[in-house]
Amino acid sequence: MRQRIMDLRRAAKALAWLLLALIAYSTLSPIGMRPHVGTWVHVERFGAYGLMGLLFATAFPRRITLVLAMVLGAAVGLELLQMLSADRHARLEDLAVKMAGATCGVGAVWFSGRWWRLRGRQSKPKFKPSRVESSA
């Protein structure tokens, strides 16, 4: 079981960094080269940053605060770097959508981890059975 968890975290780590690279490319490339999924742009942004937050939080579950700061920092940094390009623009509205998606992705992992820990505590017996009770 422990090996499966480690494999999941290793895969999440690789996918998270690849997704961050894809998001950076999409954000900083000229507008004509930007990949489109076909939905509303805000849905794409929210989903991309939500998935990135989820993957990073899965890869580093004991560093949730650091993961949240890193993902939000990436959103701010990439949005500000758009101002260096002539055909791109940085908007506060876009940044808010990206930060909301990132927060939801990290929050989903944090809440699910809390739920599993609480669930595990409830299923454990509170008292050890005595030898007399266990032999009966």
Domain extents for the chain? 2-118
| Token digits of residue 5 | 């968890």
Q: How many CB atoms lie within 10 A of CB 68?
A: 20
What pLDDT does residue 88 have? 76
Highest mean pLDDT among 15-24, 87-96, 120-129: 15-24
What pLDDT does residue 18 have? 97
* pLDDT at position 136 over 60: no
* pLDDT at position 59 over 70: yes
pTM of the entire predicted model: 0.80
What pLDDT does residue 113 have? 86
* pLDDT at position 34 over 90: no
> Among 11-25, 27-41, 84-98, whose mean pLDDT is lowest?
27-41
3-state secondary structure of 43: helix
CA 43 vs CA 35, 48, 51, 103: distances in Å: 14, 8, 12, 15
Query: Amino acid letter at 112?
Result: S
What pLDDT does residue 132 have? 62
